[in-house]
Amino acid sequence: MAGSSTAELSGLTDEAAVLVNRWLEYLTSEKRVSKHTLTAYGSDFGDFISFLVDYKGGTVGLRTLAGLEVRDFRAFLASLRGDNLSARSVARSLSSVRNFYRFLARTEGIENDAIKAVQGPKLPHRVPRPLTEEAAKSVMETVGEFEDEPWIAARNMAVVTLLYGCGLRITEALSLNGADIPTGDTMRVMGKRNKERIVPVLPAVREAIRAYKAECPFPITNDGPLFVGKRGKRLNPRTIQAAMQKVRIALGLPESATPHALRHSFATHLLSRGGDLRTIQELLGHADLKATQVYTEVDSARLKDVYDKAFRRR
């Protein structure tokens, strides 16, 4: 279902399958969603179609999709909850279905007001869990100690220093090519939906990348990957995730100390030092300021914790 081949769209009429494929292609070519997001949307919509085939008792066509009522969508959500899916997973599935119906309305003029009336599950409010400045520094100093080969140790240190020093997503860091190596105080980063942004580069980041490049046994070309694995291919995120897990255990850090937590730490520490939200939004590549505002809650929670510890009655 995650692909665009009609052969994978079992349960749909040919006409409906063509439209679903067009929707998936639209998500790729126009919305420029990531491969991961496309796979998730395709999988979620596939679950929706499978449900309708059983629920309606037959092949699903455009007439069926256009005529679904609120109770039908609610039955789908209930089936997901019956499979013990988390509220977040159920909400994501509903979001995928809504996205398809918006596409139908825009391209085919097929409106379904029922989907607009369906409410998703209430999600728990989640606040990012950054590392302290001391813990982030310890991660950068320690991450290379678990590798026997010096170049791999230097690579892992360069990656985590880049994540924390520039606030990059791990996919952004591992998508960099040799031509992207920063030589000055800034670097260009290609973020979600191919949105380019410029981020400042600290001397420590440039030095970590320089040290890795000097140790790397594989040639780093302008159009080739900057960070490579043991076989010289582009580095897989799971490798850095595994390295962070080793550091987390060694330093006694919580399970939330993941590569992405370094990005959270970058934003939170900037905010605590007086950075303004708009600037941090641009540095992180957030499309919506609301995504950045969550860090004000992190900073407030941290300050309250410090206050409570300082003035706690003994």
User: Which of 286, 290, 309, 312 is the catalytic position?
Assistant: 286
Cα gap 11→21, rounded to integer Å: 14
Long-range contacts of range 258-261, CB-CB < 8 Å, 24 or more positions apart?
259/159, 259/160, 259/163, 259/170, 260/169, 260/170, 261/128, 261/129, 261/130, 261/131
Catalytic residue among 74, 129, 192, 234: 192
Q: Catalytic residue at 263? A: yes
- Asked if residues 237 and 218 have their Cβ atoms less than 8 Å apart, the reply is no
Question: Cα–Cα distance between 36 and 112 in angstroms, integer?
Answer: 27
Catalytic site includes residue 192: yes
For residue 174, give Cα distances in angstroms to 162, 168, 232, 245, 286: 10, 10, 13, 18, 19
Catalytic one of 41, 101, 212, 295:
295
From residue 10, how far is each of 18, 35, 59, 83, 236 by CA, in Å?
12, 22, 9, 21, 32
Contact 176, 226 (CB under 8 A): yes
Q: 187 pairs with which residues across the strands?
A: 199
Backbone angles phi, psi at 215, to 5 degrees: -90, -25
Among the listed residues 197, 210, 260, 302, the single catalytic one is 260
Active-site annotation holds for 169: yes
Is 295 in the active site? yes
Q: Is 87 helix (H, G, I), strand (E, B) or coil?
A: helix
Q: Choose, from 248, 263, 264, 269, the residue flagged as catalytic.
A: 263
Largest CA distance in the chain: 72
Contact 48, 60 (CB under 8 A): no
Residues forming the active site: 169, 192, 260, 263, 286, 295
